Amino acid sequence: MGEGPLGEVKRAVVLLSGQGSNLQALLDATADAAFGVTVALVVSDRPEAGGLDRARRAGVPVAVVRPGDHADRDAFDATLRAVVAAARPDVVCLAGFMRILGSEFVRSFPDRILNTHPSLLPAFPGAHAVRDALAYGTRVTGCTVHLVDEQVDHGPVLFQAAVEVADGDDEASLHERIKREEHRLLPLAVRLVAHGQVRVDGRRVRIPAGADGRGVERGGQ
Ligand code: GRF
């Protein structure tokens, strides 16, 4: 495998439950060897997840870990941890994974798990962020790419992008525009975390200047 400008090619494991458009954005980015990250494994809790087909089409190994095959949440979490760890990830990416990870899982990959969420956190956490923003009548929402800690939709923020709510929006149309921003930001975040370019200082995340393509260092010194 070739080497990109950031050196050695790093390994990403992606967890998903749905159609996998964010996985696709990442796969598209990895097609350029200079990106320096390969998707080593895609894991889903749902065998019918469309994202698994995207992975298969790209020749990426897949695994299904079903909660229903396990006695309880701890057992599910333990299998998930083992499956992910076996792929030796430099970064673990939650891309529409609709399960809450157990503490043990989170502690197994410290500051190396990323999530993308379709709102400007801390507004509208939870499974219905786009619907909730519309119901609230907010004029601006967006997406947040953040590190995962032991609380839901809570860890330190790497990137956010704002998306205006249009008068005629329904959940699908608004989510579609939010996803466009997620597709832009998630691959950037995956690359940074995989290559150890992210410094976490409490809730503040420092990333190299220009890493989001806008030439601004978040957090400063
Ligand atoms: C994304 O909007 C993500 O933020 C949310 O679920 C959606 C997944 O979309 N958690 P996709 O499966 O990547 O298309």
Mean residue pLDDT across the chain = 93
Rounded distance from Cα 221 to ligand 1 centre (Å): 33
Residues ≥6 apart with Cβ < 8 Å to 60 = 27, 39, 40, 41, 42
What is the number of the ligand 1 atom nearest to the C-alpha of 175? 2
Closest residue by Cα to atom 3, ligand 1, is 96
- Chain segment 198-221, per-residue pLDDT in tens: 999 999 999 988 776 554 444 433
Percent of the chain residues past pLDDT 90, beyond the cut:
90
Which atom of ligand 1 lies closest to the CA of 97? 10
Check if the beta carbon of residue 37 is closer than 8 Å to that of residue 57. no
How high is the pLDDT of residue 6? 61
| pLDDT at residue 214, as a whole number | 57
Match domain 10-212 to its CATH number in 3.40.50.170, 1.10.3470.10, 3.40.50.2300, 3.40.50.300.
Answer: 3.40.50.170
Question: pLDDT per residue over 12-68, tens digit each?
Answer: 999 999 999 999 999 999 999 999 999 999 999 999 999 999 999 999 999 999 999
How far is 126 from 157, CA to CA, in rounded Å?
A: 16
Reported as a single tens digit per residue, the pLDDT across 74-83 is 999 999 999 9
Q: Which pTM value belongs to this model?
A: 0.93
The residue ranges of every structural domain in the chain are 10-212
DSSP assignments along the chain, one per residue: ---BTTBSPEEEEEEESS--HHHHHHHHHHTSGGG-EEEEEEEES-TT-HHHHHHHHTT--EEE--GGGSSSHHHHHHHHHHHHHHT--SEEEESS--SPPPHHHHHHSTT-EEEEESS-TTSS-STTHHHHHHHHT-SEEEEEEEE--SSTT-SPEEEEEEEEPPTT--HHHHHHHHHHHHHHHHHHHHHHHHTT--EEETTEEE--TTTTSS---SS--
Q: Give me ligand 1 centre to Cα 96, in Å.
A: 4
Model confidence at 95, pLDDT cuts 50, 70, 90, reads: very high
Structure tokens of 23?
């996985």
pLDDT of residue 221: 34
Q: What is the pLDDT of residue 162?
A: 98
CA of 98 to the centre of ligand 1 (A): 9
